[in-house]
Chains A and B, each alone.
Chain A
């Protein structure tokens, strides 16, 4: 009887062995899942940076191509963008959903995942008569993601920011 038992024990795991292996596999599994999610987030960040970079460059080049920033219009930027003039500065805001599709103004604000904010204004606040005189404008672009990435608690992640300047002068040909 005892011989048979001994022989059987050699062919199977004890309970504690099974439990231990289950724990090890669970820990390893959690670690692997965490790693895969981290890879997914890093990939999403790389893609966001690429898209944000493209949008920022487009915005800067659009502003630089104009004879004067006062002539900025929503049609210059395409769908998803709004232009608002506040004093001598001009604010342009682009709204995109989670797949970087431009969002119309009639869609709810909760669906916005990315903002592209462009601020165009004189580098030095003008005093007195400025019409026709050369002026240096700052173009600040900031791309932010509102929604947090997977398993991250906080949103408001800055994807990319860019500073550029442009001299608007009537003399340059």
Chain B
């Protein structure tokens, strides 16, 4: 009686072991898959962050190019954006301001763009210098990212137009601080 019972138990024991191993494998497989999927999602978010960073930088570089064109003098073909003090009584600061605002109006016309110029200020620093302060903003899912640029563009003096200089004082990216939602009801 006892032997017969043990014999039956031994026969089913291997099956139970196989089923147990199978369950173990399936569980480990599910865990591995969910872990690696989360890992991939995290790296993908990092990659998107990097793409956004360089997209924001690109607009800053474009503005730098516009300001550089305002200072470019000489050459076989004069730059149409370059400032010519003899042609009009517009100061360099007002000239740069006009060029940048023209670009600002063009870029703001496209509402779909998630990167836009939030503020632009061009201050006159004498007749041949301008202090430019720009804040470029990028809309993210939960907050905003900014590129703050502060640079001085101009000439040492009005009669040295071939020695244009752009001095970048600030070129930094930052993100709006997170605000915790105080009205969130945890018990709901």
What is A's interface to B at a CB cutoff of 8 Å? 10-13, 21, 25, 28-29, 31-32, 35-36, 38-40, 42-43, 45-46, 49-50, 53, 56-57, 60, 128-129, 132-136, 160, 162-167, 169, 171-173
B158 at the interface (CB under 8 A from A): no
Chain A residues contacting B51 (CB-CB under 8 Å) are 162-163
Chain B residues contacting A46 (CB-CB under 8 Å) are 36, 39-40, 42-43
Q: Report which of A25, A56, A169 forms a contact with B22, defined as CB distance below 8 A.
A: A25
Question: Is B166 a contact of A173 with CB atoms below 8 Å?
Answer: yes
Chain A residues contacting B18 (CB-CB under 8 Å) are 25
In Å, the complex CA distance between A28 and B57 comes to: 51
Chain B residues contacting A134 (CB-CB under 8 Å) are 64-65, 68-69, 72
Question: Is A173 a contact of B168 with CB atoms below 8 Å?
Answer: yes
Question: Is A172 a contact of B33 with CB atoms below 8 Å?
Answer: no
Kindly provide the distance from the CB of A69 to the nearest chain B CB, expressed in whole angstroms: 13
B75 at the interface (CB under 8 A from A): yes
Kindly provide the distance from the CB of A42 to the nearest chain B CB, expressed in whole angstroms: 4
Cβ < 8 Å to A, chain B residues 17-61? 18-19, 22, 25-26, 28-30, 32-33, 35-37, 39-40, 42-44, 46-47, 50-51, 54-55, 57-58, 61
In Å, the complex CA distance between A135 and B69 comes to: 9
In Å, the complex CA distance between A49 and B44 comes to: 8
Question: Is A39 a contact of B33 with CB atoms below 8 Å?
Answer: yes
In Å, the complex CA distance between A135 and B64 comes to: 10
* 6 A-B pairs in the complex with CB atoms less than 8 angstroms apart: A36-B29, A43-B39, A53-B50, A132-B72, A133-B75, A167-B68
Annotate B109-135 by CB proximity to A: 1 below 8 A, 0 otherwise. Answer: 000000000000000000000000000
Chain A residues contacting B4 (CB-CB under 8 Å) are 11
Known A25-B18, A160-B47, A162-B54; contact A169-B32, beta-carbon cutoff 8 A: no
Interface centre among B32, B46, B153 (most CB of A within 10 A): B32
Question: Is A45 a contact of B168 with CB atoms below 8 Å?
Answer: no
Which residue on B lies nearest to A128, using beta carbons? B77
